[in-house]
Amino acid sequence: MAPGLVSAVLFATIVAGTPLILTALGELVTEKSGVLNLGAEGIMSVGAVAAFAVTLNTGSPLLGIVAGMVAGMAMSALFGFAALTLQANQVASGLALSIFGVGLSAFVGKPYESQTLSSVAPLKIPLLSKLPVLGHALFEQQALVYFSWIMLAVVAWFLYRTRWGLVLRAVGETPVAAHAIGYNVLRIRYLAAIFGGAMAGIGGAFLSVFYTPLWVEGMVAGRGWISLALVVFATWRPLRVMLGAYLFGGAMITQMFVQGSGIRLDIPAQFLSALPYLATVVVLVLISRNRSTIRLNSPASLGQPFMPDA
């Protein structure tokens, strides 16, 4: 492959993977605390519309990101109230959040459908962006792309290198024990869920302010659900979330490059589109097959409510 082509494919792959990384990293932390929030699609939608509206009115993409983040936190707090405080079923609460969020974003977003933002210039990293082949792809990206890398390191460090990360994982593994030692399980789960909402909100902001600077109903187009799959695909490991997101993004981009270059593909497009979902199922089977590997990776109490007084 020509260097120019490699650079272009890599660049596009990273861009396509970024909203998935942001959202999936947040969901990963949420799930590590034992909370399954299926509402990512709804949170991203609300985050996208909030970020777009604020950027449009203030002219500041940074304030837009903050707005997306705050909207995402509010949405996940709503989820937390139902699923944690009121101990409603987590699967159902997540679904409710998803439906509500998609509807709400379409509803409040109506007046913004006719508006446009000017695209935000990428953040060139001096020197590094001059590197051959990789320079453009890796170091001439939007600021949020670098943010996704930083957050990856932060999440990995937090989960595996800090005491509070250990506590969070303990809450996800054996909430009863964590409670017995004196940790407030509900509060920790709340914080984890709100962090997840913040990240999904930023993921939505990336879509509406940086990726395709516009707001239209349905623009999240299933990326929230893919992020959920990605967490499993990554077996709850931060670095694998990034690899998975780039694999998902890369599969789409490569498929487009193949189409554009006129190489004959005798496989129906639908088969290619189904591959990521089938791959997720296969990975899930592989990691779950052995009870010890699944125990090592997936939070044992995922999706189960915890009643402090039980």
Site for other proteins in 220-249 (CB under 8 A): 221, 223, 225, 228-229, 232
* Contacting residue, 57, 60, 81, 154, with other proteins by CB under 8 A: 81
CA distance 135 to 307: 52
CA torsion 203-208-80-174 (nearest 10°) is -10
In the complex, minimum distance from the CB of residue 163 to other proteins, in angstroms, rounded to a whole number: 29
Using DSSP's 3-state secondary structure scheme, residue 141 falls into strand
Binders of other proteins among 98-157, rule CB under 8 A? 98-104, 106-107, 110, 113-114, 116, 119
Cα 25 to Cα 164, 172, 203, 306, distances in angstroms: 17, 16, 10, 23
Task: Return the structure tokens found at 210.
Answer: 């940086």
Choice between 239 and 278, CB closer to other proteins: 278
Q: Least distance in Å: CB of 78 to other proteins?
A: 7
DSSP symbols for 151-199: HHHHHHHHHHHSHHHHHHHHHHH-HHHHHHHT--HHHHHHHHHHHHHHH
Interaction between residue 294 and other proteins (CB under 8 A): yes
For residues 197 to 216, the per-residue mask of contacts with other proteins, x marking binding by CB under 8 A and - elsewhere, is ----------x---xxxx-x
Residue nearer to other proteins on the CB measure, 82 or 191? 82
Q: How far is the CB of 70 from other proteins (least distance, A)?
A: 20
Whether the CB-CB separation of 207 and 44 falls below 8 Å is answered with yes
Among 70, 88, 125, 167, which residue sits at the site for other proteins (rule: CB under 8 A)?
88
Distance of closest approach, residue 160 Cβ to other proteins, in angstroms: 23
For other proteins, the closer CB: 82 or 134: 82
For helices 143-161 and 163-173, the axis angle rounded to 10 degrees is 80
Q: How far is the CB of 303 from other proteins (least distance, A)?
A: 7
Instruction: Encode 30-86 in three state secondary structure.
Output: HHHCCCCCCCHHHHHHHHHHHHHHHHHHHCCHHHHHHHHHHHHHHHHHHHHHHHHHC
- SS3 label, residue 256: helix
Which residue in the set 143, 167, 284, 297 belongs to the binding site for other proteins (CB under 8 A)?
284
Site mask for other proteins (CB under 8 A), range 242-281, x = bound = ----------xx--xx-xxxxxxxxxxxxx-xx--xx-xx
Q: Does 165 bind other proteins (CB under 8 A)?
A: no
Nearer to other proteins, 139 or 158 (CB): 139
Size of the site for other proteins (CB under 8 A): 85
Stretch that binds other proteins, among 65-73, 156-164, 165-173, 287-295 (CB under 8 A): 287-295
Measured distance CA(17)–CA(248) in Å, rounded? 7
Q: Of 113 and 162, which CB lies nearer to other proteins in the complex structure?
A: 113
User: Is residue 1 near other proteins by the rule CB under 8 A?
Assistant: no
CA distances from 171 to 30, 53, 136, 191 (A): 11, 37, 42, 12
Half-sphere exposure for 92 (CA within 13 Å, toward CB):
8
